[in-house]
Homo-oligomer: A and B are copies of this chain.
Amino acid sequence: MSVLIRPATEADLPAIHDLVYELAVYEKEPEAVETTPEEYLEDFRNGLFECTVAEMDGQVVGLTLFYMAYSTWRGKMLYLDDFVVKESHRRFGIGQLLFDAFVAEGRRRGCRLVKWQVLDWNEPALNFYRKNKAVIETGWWNGKILYRR
């Protein structure tokens, strides 16, 4: 098995959008995906996010999508907004390669931490993060204002 971990390019964005949608279906919220591949292209060009992909046989089979965020308590941090391995390509260690690259990138940039969110019922994901010695916080809720268009 040969996997290439590399920065995403504009040409990868449609495949990235497909994987994001696949995970949203698993997370039982496909209707929450309001973005389009065209919007990803505009936002990627504007530097709103960065992405690392896992490529196998010329196909994008996994990704981490992240951006530089900020904590008034701990300063700059990388925030992992999405982390997906295509269902057909799980159990080969691709997720670990992607996660290791993400954690290394945060360290390289001088952050005190990296951060993300996980659904409380997603046991496979929670086990993965616990195995990686992550701190899991259960006491913070998300607040949102959704604009009507």
Q: A-side interface residues toward B, CB under 8 Å?
A: 20, 24, 29, 32-35, 39, 43, 48-49, 65, 67-76, 79, 81-82, 103, 106-107, 111-121, 126, 129, 132-147, 149
Contacts and interface: CB of A to CB of B under 8 A. Distances in A.
A143 B135 contact: yes
A135 to B, nearest CB: 5
A71 B23 CA distance: 13
Contacts of A114: 144-145
Contacts of A49: 70, 72
A129 B143 CA distance: 8
Contact of A39 (B75, B103, B126): B75
Contact of A140 (B35, B81, B118, B146): B118
B143 A117 contact: yes
B68 A146 contact: no
Contacts of A73: 20, 24, 29, 32-35
Contacts of A113: 144-147
A33 B106 CA distance: 19
